[in-house]
Copies of this chain bind each other. A is one copy, B any other.
Amino acid sequence: MKFEIDHNSEESKYIQLHDRIITMIASGKLSEGDVLPSVREMAEILDINFHTVNKAYALLRDEGYVAMYPRIGTVIELSFNKKSRRTEIDRNIKLIAAKAKCMDMDVDELHRMIDSDYGRLVKKKN
């Protein structure tokens, strides 16, 4: 399972790539120090424009997941503002909790989902 996006998804391509890389970091497929394919290489891999890749990389950089070194490359380098990351996560969870509540899904079921998804990250490193 490598870099890939769904060209027919309603989710924008740069967000798909952005999310994919975060997931790969979380699951250990990408580790601190790893160098991502250059924007042009990645563009060829995914068959999209390099500006779209650059947009994804720049967003990851702004959020603190990677560092972009001109004339060197884009490197996995975790340096985020934990407070703002946490705020973002909490904002997402608030909406999820609301949706779950609407369909009578109880807290325990959400916990099980979290456990399952989080646990899957820890195990699958290939």
A109 → B minimal CB distance (Å): 9
Determine whether A65 belongs to the interface, using a CB cutoff of 8 Å to chain B.
Answer: yes
Report the count of interface residues on A (CB-CB < 8 A). Answer: 38
**Chain B residues within an 8 Å CB radius of A45:** none
A interface secondary structure, majority: helix
Instruction: Report whether A102 and B25 are in contact in the complex, using a CB–CB cutoff of 8 Å.
Output: yes
Instruction: Report whether A114 and B93 are in contact in the complex, using a CB–CB cutoff of 8 Å.
Output: yes
**Given A26-B101, A92-B96, A102-B26, A114 and B111 touching (CB < 8 A)?**
yes
A19 to B93, CA, bound (A): 12
Determine whether A117 belongs to the interface, using a CB cutoff of 8 Å to chain B.
Answer: yes
**Chain B residues within an 8 Å CB radius of A101:** 26-27, 118, 121-122
